[in-house]
Amino acid sequence: MISTKTYGSLSLINCKNLKSLGNLKSVEGNLLLQGCSSLEAIDNLNYVSGNLWLDDCTSLKKLPNDLRIGGFLSIQRCISLQTLPSGLEIADNLWIDGSFLESIPNDMKLKGRIFYASKELKKMYNDRYKFIHCRI
């Protein structure tokens, strides 16, 4: 059972049977979710003070609305995630690779840039954000 708040970084790597983060609401540090292939949603999380890495979470379909991230957000090979949540706040850059994101919410607050490695993401272009195509 994960506490509602962690003090320090939390890394969950190759937790193949993890379906949820339970009542975890905040992480005072970085949060790394890598290879958590059964994780479908992160329902209760509302704050990560550092960076949030979502890598190879192939069943992840949903992030919570009004999620605040104090660092960057990296979404890599989360093939079931098609949208970003309303009210998303990212204090640094957004990195996207191997994703099928269809849109970026109009109310997203981003202080950095969007780096992407998929040509499909160009259709999400919005004058509010600086997009940079690169290889991640």
Nearest to 45 by CA among 77, 93, 85, 99: 85
More confident residue, 5 or 36: 36
The confidence band for 136, taking pLDDT boundaries of 50, 70 and 90, is: very low
Could you tell me how far CA 41 lies from the centroid of its own chain?
11
pLDDT tens-place string over residues 41-91? 998 999 999 999 999 999 999 999 999 999 999 999 999 998 899 999 999
Determine the pLDDT at residue 129: 61
Determine the pLDDT at residue 126: 55
As for how many domains the chain has, the answer is 1
Determine the pLDDT at residue 122: 52
Q: Residues 8-14: what's their mean pLDDT?
A: 93
In a 13 Å sphere around the CA of 107, the CA atoms on its Cβ side amount to: 8
Q: Which domain holds residue 76?
A: 5-133
pLDDT tens-place string over residues 100-125? 887 788 899 999 988 877 655 555 55
Place of tokens 């706040």: 89
